[in-house]
Structures are given as C-alpha cells and as structure tokens.
Structure 1
Amino acid sequence: MSALIAIFMDSFRLLQARRLFWITFGISMLVALAYASIGFNEKGMTMFFGWKEFENPILKSGSPEAAAFYVMIFTDWIVGLWLAWFALGLAVVSTAGIFPDFIADGSIGISLSKPVGRFRLFLLKFAGGLLFVALQVALFTLMVFLAIGWRVGEWNLTIFWAVPVVTFVFGLLYSVAVLVGIWTRSTLFALLSACGVWALSWLVHFTEQQFYTFAHTVPEAGISVDWSKGDVEETDKEGEKVDWVVKAHSTIETIGSPLPKTRDCTLYLKRLIKMEKRDSLLSGVTLGDLMTGTLPNRMQAGAQKKAEERHSAWYVFGTSAAFGACILGLAGWIFCRRDY
C-alpha cells in the first residue's frame, strides 16, 4: 500500500513542480475573484465590488433573474471559456509529458522494481494526472460556491458538479495523450494528438448544434426562414421543418456519436446545477436575454430549453466514457506488454 501511495504522490509532486501548475492556479484564483466582484443593487448589476454600475430592469438585487444570471455566468462563461478551454488546455500541456518522461530510459526502472503490477502502476500514473485538474477545479469551485452564497444567498451544493465533469473531460483528452505518449515516447506527438481529437470533437458537435438550431429550434420557436431569399419572419405558430436540414443534422449527429463529447459535457453542467427559481421561472432563457434586459416569449423559451436538453446523459457521458475506456485500455495494454 505504501508503494502505491508513493507512486501516486510522485506523479502529483512532478506536476506540482512545474510552473504551469502554479500559473493555472493563480489565474483561476483571479478569475474567481473577478466573479465574486459582480453584485446587484436596486438599479441593476455592479462590477468590481461596486466600482462600475450597469442599469438593468431585470437584474436587480433579490430577483430570481439576478440569481439565475449569476449562476449562468459561471456555467456559460466561466466553465465554457476558462475551465473548458484555457485551464483545460494548460492542463493538457502540463501533463502530456508525464508518460513519455516516465518510460524514458532509466526512469521507469525504479517504479517497476516495486511490488506493484504494471497495469496498477499505469492507472496510478494516470490518476496522478487527473489529480492535477481535480484539485484546481475543486478550489476554484469552492470560491464560486462562496461567491454565490454571498451575492444571491443561495448555498447551492450542485455547483460542485463542475469538479467531476471538468475532470472527466480532461480525462478524455489525457487518455489520448497517454496512448500516443506511450506508443511514440514523444511529448510533442502526445500533445498534438490530444489537441487534434479535442478540436475535431468540438468542431463536429458545434456543427451538430448549429444544424439542430436551424432544423428544429428555429421552426419550433415560431421563426419562419425563406432559404431562397434569406428572409426571416417571427410568427406565433410553429414553422415547417426543412427536410434536407433535418437529414443533415441526423447525419452529423451520427458521425459525432463515437467521438468524446468534450463540449457537450461542459454544456450539460447547466442541467446538473439546479436552482429552484431559475428552473421554474426562467426555463429556456439565455444569458444574452438577461444581459439585454428582455425575455423571450414562451414558444421561443420552450424551443431553447428543448435544444439544451436534446441529448441524454448516456449520449453525453456514456458514449464519451466508452471512448475513454477504449483508448485508456489500449494504452494500458501497450504499457504492460512493452519491454523497458
């Protein structure tokens, strides 16, 4: 047991010693502080602890819209931009070299001499990389939890869903880096492969979302589009769906099914983080609606909510986990059979 703990902690200490760990941690704390500086008063929203004020008839202190807006800043912007892109990217850069360095000549001998099976050793090194992201996201989410409780008076524990979700997304990319790193022993190839799968996944699923919008959300929202002239008209009745757009969406969705759902996983956080007032009164309302001070009609809000919830948890997480398990299993098999 002591050998297992020693190997696990060695991986974490290696990551901790790298500058990117502390750079990412420092920027995360600054982002959390900026988030905590956002507040609300009787006129609207304030920023930088009251230094800047923005009048908004919807976002007033004590309103459910203000509480929803504050949480949606976290789920739509901070998670969608900082955690899902920049922090995750820095984490992939930091961890891509773990296995190539580990299996370099002379480096792996000490670990293999310990009474630990090869596959267990492989999983421990992989878990050490996951800890890099889990710890940072946990500390960041704790600050967000405290900020939400302070600003809107809601101590919402579902905020902590961000920790396993973001760590899970990182694990999908990290598994690709591990496989290529073990196979080629190159940190550069491992990093490029992880980024390539990440970019491909994002592009396919972003395209799927756009086609779903035109195939289903737009007509269900009562918006009629003349594709030959490019004219758009809002009505109070559901419009007709265009067959070729519906078929194109189905094709793209099928293509994206076996790929990891890195983008959809982070978007799913909005469904995991529960707020009673937001979920009952502001269903289907977007962050942009609240910022402009206008709310969509019931038909548009319903179409938007349906679009956000079109994928099940199995499709988002289950298929992604199957992808990660296959990649990680193959990497573990190569690791166990190769001579060092």
Structure 2
Amino acid sequence: MSKQDTVLSVKDLEVQFNTRGGVVQAVRNVTFDLKRGEALAIVGESGSGKSVSAQTIMRLIPTPPGKIKTGSIVFNGQDILKMSEREMEAIRGKEIGMIFQDPMTSLNPTITIGNQITEVLIKHQKMSRQQAKDRAIEMLRLVGLPNPEQRYAQYPHEFSGGMRQRAMIAVSLACDPTLLIADEPTTALDVTIQAQILELMKDLQKRLGTSIIMITHDLGIVADMCDRVIVMYAGKVVEEGTKEEIFKNPKHPYTRGLLRSLPRLDQPKDEPLIPIDGTPPNMMHPPIGCAFCDRCGDAMKICAEQDAEITSHSETHASRCWLNHVV
C-alpha cells in the first residue's frame, strides 16, 4: 500500500482516563491504516475502546480526565496529535466528518436543522448565506429527507429518529469530507430505516470516494458494507483482516466467539446460540497476559503470563494469540 493511498495512519495509540478509582487504560497500543475510499469496521463489545479510538482521531477526548499517552494519528500526511486546537477546528467538519451514536444529543435542539448545516458551510467553505442555504437543502434532499425546503426550517425535536440520523449525516457530509467516522449510526433505528441509512452511506461513499470508519456491534452491518475489519478487545486490536478473512477464517478465539453468538440462517431453529461466558477485564488493572484469557476455552499457561505478539496469516490478515504462534 503506497503512502498516497493511505488517508489515515494510527500507530501505537494509547489513551487513558484519570478517575477517582484509578487510571482507566481505555486504548492500548492500537495501530491501523485506512485507504482512500475504503470502509473499515471496528467491532467489539462495549468497553473495548472503539468509540474512544474514534473520538481521539477527532481530538474530542476531554482533557482532563482523558490523556493521550503515546502514539501518532497521521491524517493526509499531518499528525493530528501535534496540531493546535485552531488547526483541528479547520479539519473537523471539513475534512473529517463524524456521525454520532445519538443524533438527538449531537444536534443542537435550539437551532434549526438548516442553520446547523449552513454554519458548517459558511465556516469551512466560505459560502454566502444564500449559497449555504441552497447547499443545505441539496444535502437534505441527498440524504432522502422529504420536503427538504420545509425540513430546513424545522428543529431536531420535529424529526423522527431516522430523520434526525439522516440530518446528522447531512451535517457530516456537507463539506464532502475525506474521512467519515460513523459511531453506531443505526443503533436506535428500526431495521427498515437502518437499511436505508446504510444504503445511503454506501451510495455516498461510491459517489464521493469517502473513506469510512464504521464502529458497530452489528456484524451484519459489517458484512454488508465494509471492506476490512478490526476486532478490538480490552483496548487492543486482537485481529485484523479483510471481511472475507474475518468471517470465513477467524483466527482469534474472541472473534470466533463473536461469530458463534450470532444467529445464522443455515443453522437449525432449535440450536441455541453460544454466548461468550464471563465479563471483560477491569481496565484499571488490565491483565499482564492476554486480556481474553479468563473467558477463553483454549487458554494456556503462557496466555496468563504474557500477551502474544502479532502473528501474520497473510498480507492483510493478522491476530494476537498464542494459538497461532509457530514454535
């Protein structure tokens, strides 16, 4: 992969939070790249570090209590972690857009939907107010909202959940960003609206060449729209590969556990789903060895004593597990 093809390169990222109870090690040594026009999924259960990684890319981690301990985040050749807040403001919304998990708390309830789009365009694209209004109405039409001229003047509380999420996407895409981060964009939506939102994102990716980071619990969404998958557990990347490699040939026990816990069309109706027993570790005191050790049926003595190094299975597929080490 050439450097020209790489939009985002995250290397050795560590993020922690100082709390009254101690230091929470939320993200530990995370490294990945994102190509231009690629859709990358980051999956894992709650508390695995997915959203914190995404918010760190946007430099939205509250400091304090948050602290970026080590690492680099290079976006289009520039290290985001070395930028001033003023420099970041020029990138947020213009070059990197983000769709948050709950649009009702992300959209300002006191400002009309139209004005929330136009203020982004006036600031970043230096448009006149009329130009920004025309573009905002065009964006509302693009994301599939009916009567966009009327919706332009309405407030978030006048929209349904699916409409608010579409409006959030319109805000995020108004400046044609190079990178779109979608943090659980369809969590609170019914399956029909969910399918429409995903279809919209795929269409926009194809038309605008936008790179997408999709943070989700839903492996069905991953199979539908993502090219590559990163599996996170306890703040670390435990497996990475193409969609086909992760679904057809998972190498880490945690990835296999996630896939086993999903219902399948080809399995008998009376066959129960197999949950992953146990709970994630306390990230104030993460284990010395593999964080998944206590929940893994294949755990060995070395798993509790030392975390495994990364094993490459192909140019695109790698995992962090002692079972895959060649002795």
TM-score normalised per structure 2: 0.23
Between Structure 1 and Structure 2, the one with more strand by share is 2
Which is higher, the Rg of structure 1 or of structure 2? 1
Higher helix fraction (1 or 2) = 1
